């Protein structure tokens, strides 16, 4: 029975358990629910939970563990002679899986009978053509050992699935029966159900931790794989980025770092002054009418998806900059040869960050106590003097935190640099040249058809790890500063 | 000391006039600095607003043409001897005639059209005329004939898609000068186009296929539409909604109402605030490693996209849900506890319903953010895939490869053809309409149901 059907069957059992539990509790007190410890529904839920939860937990674990076990046992069947590296082994294994799936599909479509499928022989039948007929394409002719492994794979999967169905359903029934037996008028059903609910709530809250763990583990394992194939020192200190999928790539991160840093710098140079001045103006000078119009307009900029900014950079801003700074440009400088450049991406990213900086700074400026302003104004300072000499210095740590958060956003931004910054990794000071960033290279290394075992693909995980560590560090530091600062005035 | 008699100003300083009505130089300077500072602030707001307007103008100006398309209406004669030699009108037999068999019919029809209207035929080969219509035109005629075999032997009016160059000429994107470097179309074609346009044969009309149609191959921008990827986005959003709303609400309830102050809770809190700031591309890497490499879920499936976006939006939803739970006053909880409800009952029967409008608002905003997100989708293979077929069922909708709206827009932008740029901008208009609708719904919900305690 497929997992989905087992799931539905368990669900049906749980509903049945609810009805039975409720009825049984009511029947025990002759329908007078005042004699029950809890409301009748709680007895129903209690039985339902016992039918559902243990069975589903086992099902989930089974779904993860069974393929792993079968993979290891089948892998040991493949002779050492048919593969040289782990990468080839995984290719052979995926062939095995594909043949096994194909045979199942062939049986399902009626192209083979069950016995025929089990006694298939590579000498007698052209397995590849047979599977091709049912729509499963195999890269090369099927070797006898692959077919043998596939048969073993099918057999153990079939046994496993059978055992899974029986055990899960039995467990659901057992849970249902046990909970039903415990049902009694003085059984504290509400407490038991609430405990289970609390468990569910805790599990939901822990997903955040699981996600972080998933991110960290998937990055770490693949990064270690990468460093086995490529020396870490060359990765961190290499000054050339030249991946070639044929081998012999040079994968130094420094040019990518430089591109990321340069673009972020330009973005911050645009966003910080504009965002900060806008926040100061809106919180200290603007009347309620101006504020009511201008603030939402700036916030619209924050709600626009980054793909829109990317296209804006590629199609509008890039050519516009070429018209000004290009060879035939208005200034006749000839600094810029193509639309994709550090300047293009930085400028557009700066626009994107304006609302981010301004709303964060707005919060921070507003949290400076009014008494400080009043004191300064009372001494005869003008509004701008108060701002420059009292409010901003007081808000400075918070604003630094906001800028750091903006920097972490800029470093992690992907779509704008993929579309606006170009693809060439180079170390150059000219902001009108195309450069590339860590995020853009993660995308380009992982969207090709490369196999995940090559250093050219694995390098993306190392890049991701670096990116994750940097942004995490920046965020933690920034949040620490912001929080510290807030406490100061609370 | 005898300095006591020294007059003020004796050291050469000018005596202050002391008038409030007349500003001295220093006051003037300070006031000027004040005005300057205020001006900087106004300029900053102004620049921000100008950028917004520039962005919107460029979206609208570049994107609106994508919603219209040029069509050529031609009567095409469908001869029996070519399309159905057997004469039994059986679609299965007629299927043997490929689109190559239909192409000459188009040529004949176009030549006849020109002759009937007295337009000079500039080309030696009639097949050259076919460059004016989309390369999908023959397939369109074939599909119509196969769907309705009785049309054979008649002359039928077909509304054919014009090729992207002709369409670009009608929209002012392609000029005669730019055609000089383009071997897909000649200036002679444009003369014919002008004349046909005057006759009313060649017209721009609203292009429903752009909104509801499917993506097309790289050489046929005139045919490409956003419909299939919209369905992909819809399935992804279903996954995100179904997973992130219950999980987000459950997590927030625990953290806000039940969690004791201990290390574990602190760890969860720190985790959530950090996850909210992790770059979205990292979630793409997570999806690739965990869902595709480890769990062997299918590449490019909306289910995987939905799972990745769920993990990404969860922190947003948790943060907003906690804020709305916090906004429910403690007196409500106390009252429920006072009449004998358990803590769990007070939360689920009283606090949660009261916080629901705020939670829904936060969820809609989280969904809007997820709908526009592109970077993680690139890594799980939703780009480079031509979304040419609608999924044929609910299960296929979740599991078979598809694209999503922002991924499709990126894919079009990557094709580096002005006709596809136009479509990318058009796609952005559709995407922004969706986002705007979601935001307006969220604002209305907040206005209608928000309670001030």
Residues of A in contact with B318 (CB under 8 A): 208
Specify which residues B156 forms β-bridges with: B76
A250-251 vs B68-77, strand pairing mode: unpaired
A102 in Cβ contact with A154 (< 8 Å) = no
Residues of A in contact with B425 (CB under 8 A): 311, 315
B56 in Cβ contact with B132 (< 8 Å) = no
From the list A218, A384, A452, which residue is nearest B37 (CB)? A384
A194 and chain B in contact, CB less than 8 A: yes
Q: Which of B346, B352, B344, B424 is nearest to B383 (CA)?
A: B424
Confidence at residue B249, expressed as pLDDT on a 0 to 100 scale: 95
Pick B152 or B429 by higher pLDDT.
B429
Structure tokens at B74: 């031609």
Give the DSSP H/E element, type plus range, for residue A268: helix A254-280
B374 and chain A in contact, CB less than 8 A: yes
Helix locations, B254-301, DSSP H: 263-275, 280-286
The verdict on a CB contact (< 8 Å) between B267 and A209 is yes
A241-242 vs A250-251, strand pairing mode: antiparallel
Residues of B in contact with A311 (CB under 8 A): 409, 413, 421, 424-425, 428
Q: B82-86 contacts: CB < 8 A, separation 24 or more?
A: B83/B145, B83/B152, B84/B149, B84/B152
CA angle A9, A10, A14 (to 5 degrees): 120
Confidence at residue A458, expressed as pLDDT on a 0 to 100 scale: 87
Per-residue pLDDT tens digits for A285-332 = 988 998 888 888 888 888 899 999 999 999 889 888 888 887 776 676
**From CA B268, how far away is CA B266, in angstroms rounded?**
5
Per-residue pLDDT tens digits for B321-334 = 999 999 999 999 99
Per-residue pLDDT tens digits for B437-449 = 999 999 898 888 8
Confidence at residue B6, expressed as pLDDT on a 0 to 100 scale: 47
- The average confidence (pLDDT) of chain B is 85
Residues contacting residue A140 through CB under 8 Å, at least 6 positions apart: A128
Q: Burial of B115 by CB count in 10 Å (0-12 exposed, 13-18 middle, 19+ buried)? A: exposed
Structure tokens at B113: 């059209």
Specify which residues A242 forms β-bridges with: A250
Per-residue pLDDT tens digits for A17-58 = 999 999 999 998 888 888 888 888 999 999 999 999 999 999
Mapped onto helix, strand or coil, the DSSP state of residue A27 is: helix
**DSSP notation for A229-263:** HS-HHHHHH---EE--TTS--EE-SHHHHHHHHHH
**From CA A162, how far away is CA A169, in angstroms rounded?**
11
Q: Which of A28, A56, A52, A44 is nearest to A192 (CA)?
A: A44
Residues contacting residue A83 through CB under 8 Å, at least 6 positions apart: A89, A91, A92
Per-residue pLDDT tens digits for B105-134 = 888 888 888 888 878 777 777 777 888 888
Q: Burial of A66 by CB count in 10 Å (0-12 exposed, 13-18 middle, 19+ buried)? A: middle
Mapped onto helix, strand or coil, the DSSP state of residue B306 is: helix
Q: Which of A180, A271, A8 is nearest to B44 (CA)?
A: A271
φ and ψ at residue A36, rounded to 5 degrees: -85, 150
A269 pLDDT band, cuts 50/70/90, is very high
Specify which residues B75 forms β-bridges with: B157
Residue A201 has pLDDT above 90, yes or no: yes
Confidence at residue A98, expressed as pLDDT on a 0 to 100 scale: 78
Q: Which of B203, B227, B204, B202 is nearest to B214 (CA)?
A: B227
Buried b (16+ CB within 10 A) or exposed e, B35-63: eebbebbbebbebbbebbeebeebbeebb
Q: Which of A62, A63, A191, A211 is the best mutation test for B, with the most CBs of B within 10 A?
A: A211
Buried b (16+ CB within 10 A) or exposed e, B80-107: eeebbeeeebeeeebeebebeebbebbe
From the list B45, B289, B409, which residue is nearest A222 (CB)? B289
A211 in Cβ contact with B269 (< 8 Å) = no
B1 pLDDT band, cuts 50/70/90, is very low
The verdict on a CB contact (< 8 Å) between B34 and A312 is no
Residue B9 has pLDDT above 60, yes or no: no
Per-residue pLDDT tens digits for B253-266 = 999 999 898 888 88
Question: Would you say how long chain B is, in residues?
Answer: 453
Per-residue pLDDT tens digits for A411-459 = 999 999 999 888 788 888 888 888 899 999 898 888 766 567 788 888 8
B155-161 vs A250-251, strand pairing mode: unpaired
Confidence at residue B383, expressed as pLDDT on a 0 to 100 scale: 78
Q: Where in chain B is the domain with CATH 1.10.3720.10?
A: 227-449
Instruction: Domains for chain A: give ranges and CATH numbers.
Output: 3-187 (no CATH), 241-489 (1.10.3720.10)
Confidence at residue B11, expressed as pLDDT on a 0 to 100 scale: 54
Confidence at residue B446, expressed as pLDDT on a 0 to 100 scale: 84
**DSSP notation for A376-396:** HHHTT--HHHHIIIIIHHHHH
**DSSP notation for A332-377:** ----B-SS-SHHHHHHHHHHHHHHHHHHHHHHHHHTS-HHHHHHHH
Residues of B in contact with A276 (CB under 8 A): 44
Structure tokens at A108: 């399902």
Residues of B in contact with A351 (CB under 8 A): 51, 55
From the list B248, B289, B372, which residue is nearest A307 (CB)? B372
Confidence at residue A78, expressed as pLDDT on a 0 to 100 scale: 75
Lowest mean pLDDT among A123-127, A372-376, B164-168, B244-248: A123-127
Q: Does domain B227-449 have CATH number 3.40.50.1000?
A: no
From the list B48, B383, B409, which residue is nearest A301 (CB)? B48
Structure tokens at B351: 């606090």
Residues of B in contact with A308 (CB under 8 A): 55, 59, 372, 428, 431-432
> If you average pLDDT over residues B58-85, what whole number do you get?
86
**From CA B197, how far away is CA B267, in angstroms rounded?**
69
Residues of B in contact with A412 (CB under 8 A): 278-282
Per-residue pLDDT tens digits for B154-211 = 888 888 888 888 888 888 888 877 777 777 777 788 888 888 888 888 888 888 888 8
Answer left, alpha or beta for residue B440, where phi above 0 means left and psi between -120 and 50 means alpha: alpha
Q: What is the CA radius of gyration of chain B?
A: 33
Quote the minimal CA–CA distance from A316 to chain B in Å: 7
Give the DSSP H/E element, type plus range, for residue B158: strand B155-161
Per-residue pLDDT tens digits for A63-114 = 888 888 888 888 777 777 666 666 677 777 777 877 887 777 777 777 777 7
Neighbours of B113 (CB within 10 A): 20
Separation of CA A171 from chain center: 34
Lowest mean pLDDT among B173-177, B201-205, B231-235, B371-375: B173-177
Specify which residues B161 forms β-bridges with: B71
Pick A358 or A129 by higher pLDDT.
A358
A241 in Cβ contact with B291 (< 8 Å) = no
Q: pLDDT exceeding 70 applies to what percent of chain B?
A: 95
Q: Which of A480, A471, A474 is nearest to A219 (CA)?
A: A471
Three-state secondary structure of B373-418: CCHHHHHCCCCCCCCCCCCCCHHHHHHCCCCCHHHHHHHHHHCCCH
Q: At what angle do helices A86-109 and A144-182 cross, to 10 degrees?
A: 70
Separation of CA B341 from chain center: 48
**From CA B60, how far away is CA B57, in angstroms rounded?**
5
Neighbours of A383 (CB within 10 A): 16
A442 in Cβ contact with A466 (< 8 Å) = no
The verdict on a CB contact (< 8 Å) between B281 and A439 is yes
| Distances from the Cα of A342 to the Cα of A258, A271, A422, B54, B96, angstroms | 11, 15, 8, 20, 54
Longest pairwise C-alpha distance within chain A: 101
Residue in chain B closest to A404 (alpha carbons) equals B277
Residues contacting residue A105 through CB under 8 Å, at least 6 positions apart: A134, A135, A136
A207 and chain B in contact, CB less than 8 A: yes
Longest pairwise C-alpha distance within chain B: 133
> If you average pLDDT over residues B305-334, what whole number do you get?
93
Quote the minimal CA–CA distance from A92 to chain B in Å: 16
B406 and chain A in contact, CB less than 8 A: yes
Confidence at residue B2, expressed as pLDDT on a 0 to 100 scale: 47
Residues of A in contact with B421 (CB under 8 A): 311, 315
Residue A209 has pLDDT above 90, yes or no: no
**From CA A128, how far away is CA A137, in angstroms rounded?**
8
| Distances from the Cα of A30 to the Cα of A26, A27, A33, angstroms | 6, 5, 8
Kindly tell me the sign of the dihedral angle through the C-alpha atoms of B381, B386, B390, B396.
Answer: negative
The verdict on a CB contact (< 8 Å) between B285 and A298 is no
Per-residue pLDDT tens digits for B73-113 = 888 888 877 777 777 777 777 777 788 888 888 888 888 88
- DSSP assigned state of A78: S
Residue B229 has pLDDT above 70, yes or no: yes
φ and ψ at residue A248, rounded to 5 degrees: 70, 35
A385 and chain B in contact, CB less than 8 A: yes
B27 and chain A in contact, CB less than 8 A: no
B155-161 vs B68-77, strand pairing mode: antiparallel
**From CA A4, how far away is CA A60, in angstroms rounded?**
11
Residue in chain A closest to B382 (alpha carbons) equals A447
B317 and chain A in contact, CB less than 8 A: no
Residue A140 has pLDDT above 80, yes or no: no
Confidence at residue A199, expressed as pLDDT on a 0 to 100 scale: 93
């Amino acid at each position: 029975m497929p997992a989905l059907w087992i799931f539905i069957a368990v669900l049906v059992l749980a509903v049945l358990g609810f009805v039975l539990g409720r009825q049984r509790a009511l029947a025990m007190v002759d329908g007078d629910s005042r004699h029950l410890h809890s409301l009748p529904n709680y007895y129903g839920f209690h039985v339902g939970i016992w039918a559902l939860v243990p069975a589903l937990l086992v099902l989930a674990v089974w779904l993860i563990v069974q393929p792993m076990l079968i993979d290891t046992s089948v892998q040991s069947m493949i002779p050492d002679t048919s593969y040289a590296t782990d990468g080839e082994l995984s290719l052979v294994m995926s062939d095995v899986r594909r043949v096994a799936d194909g045979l199942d599909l062939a049986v399902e479509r009626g192209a083979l009978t069950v016995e025929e499928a089990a006694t298939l022989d590579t000498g007698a039948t052209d397995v590849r053509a047979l599977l091709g007929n049912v729509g499963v394409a195999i890269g090369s002719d099927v070797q006898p050992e692959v077919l043998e492994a596939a048969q073993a794979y099918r057999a153990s999967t079939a046994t496993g699935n059978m055992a899974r169905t029986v055990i899960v359903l039995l467990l659901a029934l057992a849970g249902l029966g046990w909970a039903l037996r415990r049902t009694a008028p003085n059984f504290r059903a509400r407490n038991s159900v609430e405990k289970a609910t609390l468990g569910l709530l805790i599990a939901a809250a822990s997903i955040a931790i699981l996600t972080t763990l998933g991110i960290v583990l998937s990055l770490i394992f693949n990064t270690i794989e990468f460093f086995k194939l490529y020396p870490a020192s060359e990765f961190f200190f290499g000054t050339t980025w030249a991946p070639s999928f044929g081998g012999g790539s040079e994968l130094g991160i420094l040019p990518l770092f430089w591109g990321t840093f340069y673009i972020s710098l330009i973005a911050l140079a645009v966003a910080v002054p504009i965002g900060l001045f806008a926040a100061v103006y809106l919180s200290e000078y603007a009347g309620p009418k101006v504020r009511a119009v201008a603030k939402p307009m700036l916030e619209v900029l924050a709600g626009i998806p980054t793909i829109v900014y990317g296209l804006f950079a590629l199609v509008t801003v890039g050519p516009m900059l070429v018209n000004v700074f290009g060879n035939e440009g208005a200034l006749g400088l000839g600094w810029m040869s193509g639309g994709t450049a550090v300047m293009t991406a930085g400028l557009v990213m700066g626009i994107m960050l304006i609302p981010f900086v301004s709303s964060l700074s707005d919060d921070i400026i507003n949290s400076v106590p009014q008494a400080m302003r009043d004191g300064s104004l009372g001494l005869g300072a003008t509004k701008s003097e108060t701002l420059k000499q009292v409010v901003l210095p007081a808000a400075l740590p918070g604003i630094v935190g906001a800028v750091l958060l903006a920097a972490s956003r800029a470093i992690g931004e992907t779509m704008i640099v993929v579309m606006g910054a170009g693809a060439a990794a180079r170390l150059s000071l000219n902001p009108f040249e195309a450069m590339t960033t860590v995020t853009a290279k993660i995308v380009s290394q992982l969207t090709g058809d490369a196999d995940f075992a090559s250093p050219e693909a694995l390098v993306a995980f190392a890049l991701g790890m670096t990116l994750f560590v940097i942004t995490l560090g920046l965020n933690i530091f920034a949040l620490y500063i912001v929080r510290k600062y807030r406490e100061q005035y609370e | 000391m005898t300095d006591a008699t020294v007059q003020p100003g004796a050291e050469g300083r000018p005596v202050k006039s002391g008038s409030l009505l007349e500003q001295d130089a220093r006051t003037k300077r300070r006031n000027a600095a004040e005005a300057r500072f205020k001006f900087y602030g106004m300029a900053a707001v102004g620049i921000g607003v100008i950028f917004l307007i520039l962005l919107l103008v460029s979206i609208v100006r570049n994107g609106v043409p994508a919603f219209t398309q040029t069509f050529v209406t031609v009567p095409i004669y469908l001869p029996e001897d070519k399309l159905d030699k057997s004469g039994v009108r059986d679609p299965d037999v007629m299927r043997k005639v490929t689109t190559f068999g239909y192409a000459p019919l188009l040529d004949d029809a176009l030549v006849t059209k020109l002759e009937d209207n007295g337009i000079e035929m500039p080309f030696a080969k009639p097949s050259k005329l076919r460059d004016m219509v989309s390369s999908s035109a023959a397939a369109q005629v074939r599909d119509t004939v196969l769907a309705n075999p009785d049309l054979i032997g008649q002359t039928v009016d077909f509304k054919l898609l014009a090729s992207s160059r002709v369409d670009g000429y009608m929209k002012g994107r392609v000029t005669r000068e730019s055609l000089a470097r383009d071997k897909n179309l000649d200036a002679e074609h444009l003369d014919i186009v002008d004349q046909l346009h005057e006759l009313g044969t060649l017209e721009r009309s609203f292009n429903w296929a752009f909104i509801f149609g499917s993506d097309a191959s790289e050489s046929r921008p005139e045919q490409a539409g956003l419909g299939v990827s919209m369905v992909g986005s819809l399935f992804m959003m279903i996954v995100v909604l179904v997973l992130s709303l219950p999980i987000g609400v459950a997590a927030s309830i625990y953290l806000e109402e039940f969690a004791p102050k201990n290390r574990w809770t602190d760890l969860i809190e720190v985790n959530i605030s950090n996850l909210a700031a992790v770059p979205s591309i990292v979630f793409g890497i997570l999806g690739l490693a965990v869902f595709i490499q480890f769990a062997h879920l299918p590449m490019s499936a909306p289910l995987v996209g939905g799972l990745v976006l769920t993990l990404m939006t969860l922190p947003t939803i948790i943060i907003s849900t906690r804020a709305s739970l916090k906004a429910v006053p403690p007196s409500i909880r106390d009252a429920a506890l006072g009449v004998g409800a358990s803590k769990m009952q007070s939360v689920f029967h009283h606090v949660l319903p009261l916080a629901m409008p705020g939670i829904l608002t936060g969820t809609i905003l989280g969904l809007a953010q997820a709908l526009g997100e592109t970077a993680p989708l690139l890594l799980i293979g939703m780009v480079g895939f031509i979304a040419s077929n609608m999924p044929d069922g609910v299960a296929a909708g979740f599991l078979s490869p598809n694209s999503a709206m922002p991924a499709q827009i990126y894919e079009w932008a990557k094709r580096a053809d002005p006709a596809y740029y136009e479509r990318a901008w058009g796609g952005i208009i559709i995407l922004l309409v969706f986002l705007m609708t979601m935001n307006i719904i969220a604002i209305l919900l907040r206005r209608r149901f928000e309670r001030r305690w």
